[in-house]
Amino acid sequence: MDATERFLNACYGRPVDRPPVWIMRQAGRYMSTYQAVRKQHSFLEVCKTPELACKVTMMPIDQLEPDAAILFCDIMVPMEVMGLDLDFRPGPHLEPPVRTMGDVDALKVDGVCDDLGYVYDAIRVIKKTLNDRVPLLGFAGSPFTLACYSVEGSTTRHHHHIKKMMLTQPEVLEALLGKLADVVAEFLGKQIDAGVQGVQLFDTWGGILDEASWRRFSLPFAKRVFEALEDRGVPRIFYIQNGSHLLHSIKEMPCEVLSVDWRQSLSEVRRIVGPKFALQGNLDPALMTTDDATIRAAVKAFFDDLESTQGIVVNLGHGITPDATLPAAQALVNAVKEFGPKAAK
């Protein structure tokens, strides 16, 4: 079974020889080869130069040999073409922050996805370079998560600007979310046109909301994105961080795969969301700061906990962090390859 068949089978809940494995942000600061590229080029330069994006995307493929590649890019890039200034220090900063209906009105929607040609070019270059070695995934931020950054202007501890907007100007937030849903749906559609074989939507900040707020301000807009991709024939992966309290509503997402953090075991998530979804995750990224023996034990325990390895994509619970080590990331992939076939049931 090749990596593409393994990955797609897992996403669609079909039999696999072993669960596939990849790592969110697998091309990242923990890699010395990536750091070397970043000494020469800014983060956005790498995103915007197809050859560099390809070079960096390929690094973990060569160094870890996982079962999927993910386009090197950032969820923020649509905000730039919609009209905000985007800068990384190293976290994303957007200016001016979106705070009023006038600010929302000023955001461009029509044609902006055409201005992201560097993304589709990168996809085409990567696909050619991969030459079917592993499938290539595209991604985008969920409308709510992009709204968070747009309204806050950067990563904030308490997200009080967007919450204040939610509480006092919900119509402004809904107008913003509507625009973002349209752009994100078109952006992912164009990524699929260019050749990605799966798409992941990151609702990174959805978990800051209570369920009623999430049902109003995240779910319908994320749903709209995925519904637009219904007939595209690629698996749709929905990622949420810190979403344990939302699982009963998350079940309504029209998607093939739910990707969750480490707070709940996948068997517990399975109990709540039922058999409909493949599940992706959810090892603690802290593991990537430890050693081979610790990682092997964690992967073994991960498999032991599962009732079935069908419909499972092994990953971390969120992106790998700069304090991770390359040997740790290799140990994770290797342990899945070692224990996965025995665990497969």
Counting every residue written for the chain, the total comes to 345
- For residues 268-297, one letter each, b for 16 or more C-beta atoms within 10 angstroms of the residue's C-beta and e for the rest, the string is ebbeebeeebbbbbbbbbebbebeeeebbe
Cβ 264 to a copy of itself shortest distance, Å? 5
Cβ 130 to a copy of itself shortest distance, Å? 30
Nearer to a copy of itself, 36 or 272 (CB): 272
Nearer to a copy of itself, 133 or 263 (CB): 263
User: Is position 193 annotated as part of the catalytic site?
Assistant: no
User: Is position 30 annotated as part of the catalytic site?
Assistant: no
Nearer to a copy of itself, 68 or 162 (CB): 162
Q: Residue numbers of the site for a copy of itself (CB under 8 A)? A: 158-160, 163-164, 166-168, 207, 209-211, 242, 244-245, 262-265, 284-287, 289-291, 294, 298, 321, 323
Cβ 144 to a copy of itself shortest distance, Å? 15
Nearer to a copy of itself, 49 or 290 (CB): 290
DSSP codes of every residue in 286-305: GGGGS-HHHHHHHHHHHHHH
CA atoms of 285 and 254, how far apart (whole Å): 27
User: Is position 149 annotated as part of the catalytic site?
Assistant: yes
Closest CA to 6 of 16, 208, 14: 16
User: Is position 121 annotated as part of the catalytic site?
Assistant: no
β-bridge mates for residue 283, sequence order: 316
Cβ 246 to a copy of itself shortest distance, Å? 8
User: Is position 34 annotated as part of the catalytic site?
Assistant: no
DSSP letter for 21, please: B
**Residues 30, 34, 120, 149: which is the catalytic one?**
149
DSSP letter for 28, please: S
Kind plus residue range of the DSSP H or E element containing 164: helix 160-168
Nearer to a copy of itself, 4 or 145 (CB): 145
**Residues 6, 18, 38, 236: which is the catalytic one?**
38
Cβ 143 to a copy of itself shortest distance, Å? 19
Q: Is residue 315 within 8 Å of 22, Cβ to Cβ?
A: yes
DSSP letter for 29, please: T
**Residues 74, 87, 115, 284: which is the catalytic one?**
74
Q: Cβ–Cβ contacts within 10 Å for residue 150, how many?
A: 26
**Residues 18, 25, 236, 270: which is the catalytic one?**
25
In one letter, which amino acid is 95?
Answer: E
The rounded radius of gyration (Å) of the Cα atoms in the chain is: 19
Q: Is the peptide bond before 282 cis (omega within 30 degrees of 0)?
A: yes
CA atoms of 87 and 83, how far apart (whole Å): 13
Nearer to a copy of itself, 96 or 322 (CB): 322
Give Cα 25 to chain centroid, integer Å.
8
Cβ 211 to a copy of itself shortest distance, Å? 7
CA atoms within 13 A of residue 236's CA, in its CB half-sphere:
23
3-state SS, residue 144: helix
Cβ 286 to a copy of itself shortest distance, Å? 3
Handedness of CA 227, 265, 292, 19 (dihedral sign): negative
Nearer to a copy of itself, 63 or 242 (CB): 242
**Residues 29, 133, 263, 296: which is the catalytic one?**
29
Q: Is residue 277 within 8 Å of 255, Cβ to Cβ?
A: yes
**Which positions are annotated as active-site residues?**
25, 29, 38, 74, 149
